[in-house]
Chain A
C-alpha cells in the first residue's frame, strides 16, 4: 500500500488469511502478559491488610494461675481479645462430665476442652460464638445462665461449666485457644 487511505481497515477486520492469526496472537499475548502483571500487583495490595509483624509478635502471653481459687474466674486479654481463665470446682467438673454428648449441640467432653492433667483449668476465649459479645459469668455475682457456666446477655446464649453451648442462638462452644502449662501455676497462651 502506497497511500494511507487503507486506514479504515483495522487489523482485526482484515480478510481471513493465515497472517491474521499470527498478528492477533501477538496482541493477545501482550495484553495477557499485562493482565498477569496487573493481577500479581494485586497480591501485595491485598496482603498488606493481613496482620502486620508487630501484631503477630504479640500473640502469646503468660498467665499466673496461683491466685485463682477454685470456683473463681479471671478475665484477661490475648491477641486483643478477652479471655476467661476459670478454676473449676469438683462439683462443676462432675456436672460437666455427667452430661451425655448426645445432648450437646457441639459435642465435646470437658477432658477434650482442658489440658491433660489440668482438668480444673478451663481456658476459653470470652467471645460468644454467636456474634462476638462477651458472656457474663466470670466475675463474682454475675449471671452464669441456666447451666452454671456463662451467659451471653446480647442474645441469650447459655454455656455450661465446660463453656459448651447448651441453649440460645450460638452455634458452637466457646473457643479453647492453644496453650500449654509451663509450670503448675503458669500457662502460656498462644
Chain B
C-alpha cells in the first residue's frame, strides 16, 4: 500500500516537474535570456599586486601600513563614513601609544553626543579613548539628506560585508574611470553618479574619494600615490573588520599542532588496541 501510494506521489512530482521543465525550456529557447549590461561591463575585484600583509595562514598586519591607512580614513573617509563598532582604545593595536590614542580621541572631528549634567540638555563632548567612533550623521535620514539620498555605509565591517572582501574595497577605490564608449545610454552615470565597473550596477553615488597623488601626507615618508592610499586604507579596514585576525591565526597554529600530535597518538593507540583483532 505504501509503495502504491508512493509510486503515485512520485509520478505526480515527476510529472509536474517535467511540465515545469518543458515550459521553462520552451521559454528558454523562444526567449533566451540576454546578458545584462551590468553583467557585461562588470569587472571582478582584484587584490593589489602581492596581496595584503594579512593574507594567508601566516599573514600578519603591517602596523606601519595600518597607521597610514588610519590616516587616510581620518582625512578622507571619515567625513562621510562612520566606524561604529571600533573604539578609539582599539587603536593601540595599530601601534599607537595610549597618550597618542587619548589625543586622537580628544581631537576627533566629530564630538560624542551627551547630556549636560547641569541643564539636562543634549550637547556634545570630546571623545575619550573608551568611546567608539562617533556617528557622522545623527541618523540615516540625515545621512541620506546630506548625500543625495545615498547613505554612506558604516565601514567597520566593510571588508567582510561585500563579495570579494578586501579586494573589492581596493578595486572600488582605484576603479573610477570614464564610462567606455560602447556603454548604452541607459547605463551611463546620471547626475551625482560616477562610473565604476567594480560596483554591482556600474554607477555609484560616492564621488571618487582618492583623486590625486599626495592627497594625504604620510608621516613615515611613504609616497602617497592613489594606489598606495587605497591599499593602506583597505589594510586598515581589514583590521577594523577582523581585529582579532592575528590572535586567530596564531591560536590556530597552536591548536593544529596539538591536534596533529594528539591524532597521531590516537591512531597509534587505535592500532595498538586492535592489533589482536582481525577486522
What is A's interface to B at a CB cutoff of 8 Å? Answer: 1, 4, 6-7, 9, 11, 23, 26-27, 29-31, 33-34, 37, 40, 53-54, 57-58
* Residue numbers in B under 8 Å from A31 (CB-CB): 269
In the complex, what residues of A have CB within 8 A of residue B17's CB? none
What chain B residues lie within 8 Å of A30 (beta carbons)?
Answer: 262, 265-266, 268-269
Residue of B nearest to A2 (CB): B278
Is B15 an interface position by the 8 A CB rule?
Answer: no
| Contact present for B87 and A54 (CB under 8 Å) | yes
| CB pair B272 A23 closer than 8 Å | yes
Residue ID in chain B nearest A12 by CB atoms: B273
Instruction: From known contacts A4-B278, A54-B87, infer whether A37 and B258 are also in contact, taking CB-CB under 8 Å.
Output: yes
Q: Does the CB pair B87–A57 fall under 8 Å? A: yes
Asked whether B277 lies within 8 Å of A7 as measured between CB atoms, the reply is yes
CB of B276 within 8 A of CB of A1, answer yes
B268 touches A58 (CB 8 A): no
Nearest B residue (CB) for A67: B118
Task: Report whether A11 and B130 are in contact in the complex, using a CB–CB cutoff of 8 Å.
Answer: no
Cα-based distance from A27 to B268 in the complex (angstroms):
8
**Which residue in chain A gives the minimum CB-CB distance to B131?**
A57
Known: A11-B273, A57-B87. 12 other contacts (CB 8 A): A4-B277, A7-B276, A26-B268, A30-B262, A30-B265, A31-B269, A33-B262, A34-B262, A37-B258, A37-B259, A54-B130, A57-B129
Give Cα A110–Cα B254 distance, bound, in whole angstroms: 52
Which residues from 246 to 279 on chain B have a C-beta closer than 8 Å to any C-beta of chain A?
258-259, 261-262, 265-266, 268-269, 272-273, 276-278
- Indicate whether B89 reaches chain A with its CB closer than 8 angstroms: yes
Neighbouring A residues of B129 by C-beta, 8 Å: 57
A sample of 12 cross-chain residue pairs with beta-carbon separation below 8 angstroms, ordered by A number, consists of A4-B277, A7-B276, A26-B272, A27-B269, A29-B265, A30-B262, A31-B269, A33-B262, A54-B87, A57-B89, A57-B129, A58-B130
Question: How many angstroms from the CA of A161 to the CA of B262 in the assembled complex?
Answer: 63
On whether the beta carbons of A34 and B276 are closer than 8 Å, the reply is: no
CB-CB under 8 A from B272, the residues of chain A are 11, 23, 26-27
A31–B268 alpha-carbon span in the complex (Å) = 12
Residues of chain A within 8 A of B268, CB atoms compared: 26, 30
CB distance from B141 to the nearest CB of A (A): 28
B204 to chain A, nearest CB (A): 34
Neighbour of B266 across the interface among A1, A34, A53, CB < 8 A: A34
Q: From known contacts A57-B87, A57-B130, A58-B130, infer whether A9 and B276 are also in contact, taking CB-CB under 8 Å.
A: yes
Measured CB to CB, the nearest residue on chain B to A34 is: B262
A57 / chain B contacts, CB cutoff of 8 Å: 87, 89, 129-130
What 6 A-B pairs have minimum CB-CB distances, sorted nearest first? A30-B269, A57-B130, A30-B265, A33-B262, A27-B269, A26-B272
The residue in A4, A9, A30, A58 that gathers the most chain B C-beta atoms within 10 A of its C-beta is A30
Minimum CB–CB distance from B276 to chain A (whole Å) comes to 6
> B89 to chain A: which residues have CB within 8 Å?
53, 57
Contact yes or no, B261 A33, CB < 8 A: yes
Q: A33-B265, A34-B262, A37-B258 are in contact. Are A27 and B273 (CB under 8 A)?
A: yes
Report the nearest B residue to A7, measured CB to CB: B277
Bound form: Cα–Cα A11–B276 in Å: 8
A33 to B263, CA, bound (A): 10
| Residues in B whose Cβ lies below 8 Å from that of A54 | 87, 130
User: For the complex, what is the distance from the CA of A9 to the CA of B277, rounded to whole Å?
Assistant: 10
**B262-A37 in contact (CB<8A):** yes
Residues of A within 8 A of B259 (CB): 37
Instruction: List, in ascending order, chain A residues with CB within 8 A of B262's CB.
Output: 30, 33-34, 37
Nearest-neighbor residue (CB-CB) of B132 within chain A: A54
B-chain residues with CB within 8 Å of residue A7 when the two chains form the complex: 276-277
Q: Given the complex, which residues of A lie within 8 Å of B278, measured CB to CB?
A: 4
A residues near B130, Cβ cutoff 8 Å: 54, 57-58
Inter-chain contact A26/B269, CB cutoff 8 Å: yes
User: Which positions 107-162 of chain B face chain A at CB distance < 8 Å?
Assistant: 129-130
Q: Which residues of A contact B276 (CB under 8 A)?
A: 1, 6-7, 9, 11
* B268, closest chain A residue (CB): A26
